Amino acid sequence: MATHHLAALFAERAKAHPEREFLVFGSRRMSYAQAEREALALADAFAGLGVQPGDRLAVDLPNWPEWVVTFLAAAYRGAVLVPLDPSLSLHELKYQLRQAEVRAVHGVPTMFELLMRDPSFEEQRPTTCRSGLVAGSPVSPELAGRIRQWCDVQIAYGLTETGPTVTITRFGDAPERRTHTVGRAVPGVEVRVVDLQSGALHGPEAVGEVAVKGPNVMLGYYRMPGETARSLTPEGFFLTGDLAIVDDEGYVRIVGRRNEVIIRGGYKIYPRELEDLLRTHPAVGDACVVGIPNETLGELICACVVATEGSIVTGDELKEFCRESVADNKVPDLVRFFDAFPLTGSGKVKRRELTQVVGLELSATT
């Protein structure tokens, strides 16, 4: 590698000043050594995805530290980074993917969904994309299958506090595990599930909170000792707030967020299960299930739905569709239709906002 190459220059700086502050983002701080460690690990993951020197790598990330780490990782791998602007229209995004001859695409599920939902997508699919990552929010098996018809992506899971990647699927995994799980832990990272009440370790196939330990885990929240104490165990595990099942071979299946669990009449309902089911209905483009406060049952199950273009479907039809596959206590009490969901800058649905909208609607009609 040439001495004037970005990767060589950064490696030289990291060797000379490993503990010097390299990046500041709000309360987050990264040293040269931390950034180098994460960039090298990501570059190795790119190699596992089949990214070769000279390949063009499309990345859809907000302006945060992971973007910088990805930029450095691409440099270490010798790839060309193609930043995707989240504000691009579908036509602009398709044009950029084609003109840049992108080989690998990294993005959130919403980006892939909107791209494929465009009427012209089937006629003009990107032909150069061969791999990539989809992460940032839950990936339904149905969505993963549709993406892999034109780009053989892997599914990854992680959080900002974990550097971010914790687990990832691999090409050698069985098809079922590549579709229904977020893979196994990356090298050097330990993943466990713990009981929500006692904090004790769970055995395989039991639902618990995901706990992560490794060199990728943050030291703590800047100037937030209370939140740090609540999030990190004495053994150094970070409690993610995500609920999952880990099988006996280490594959992780995310079932939801701890603060998103709906308790209806004493029963725990995991929104992810219903959302994945609803997305298999041909008239449903996207779904988000939230809990609405109720005096009798504690919470009602509300399925918020974005219908596919041109489809006509009723709430009762979707309830019956769910009733065929889940227990009666899991069938949505309410179905509300939206033209589009409110999204965060990273493409995640603003669940609290949906809850407020439906709650206000109910209060206005009762």
- The 10s digit of each residue's pLDDT in 315-345 is 999 999 999 999 999 999 999 999 999 988 7
For residues 313 and 205, the model is more confident at 313
Confidence category of residue 147, pLDDT binned at 50, 70, 90:
very high
Give the C-alpha separation, 224 to 229, whole Å.
Answer: 9
- Looking at residue 91, what is its pLDDT? 80
The residue-averaged pLDDT of 117-140 equals 88
- The 10s digit of each residue's pLDDT in 161-210 is 998 899 999 999 999 999 999 999 998 999 999 987 777 777 677 889 99
- Give bridge partners of residue 155 from the DSSP assignment: 134
Beta strand pairing call for 190-194 and 208-213: antiparallel
- Looking at residue 2, what is its pLDDT? 62
Of 36-45, 58-67, 112-121, 198-207, minimum mean pLDDT range: 198-207
Whole-number mean pLDDT of the chain?
91
The residue-averaged pLDDT of 103-116 equals 88
For residues 95 and 230, the model is more confident at 230
Burial of 100 (C-beta count, 10 Å sphere; 0-12/13-18/19+): middle
Tokens of 148: 């892999």
DSSP 226: H
- Looking at residue 339, what is its pLDDT? 95
How far is C-alpha 284 from the chain's CA centre? 20
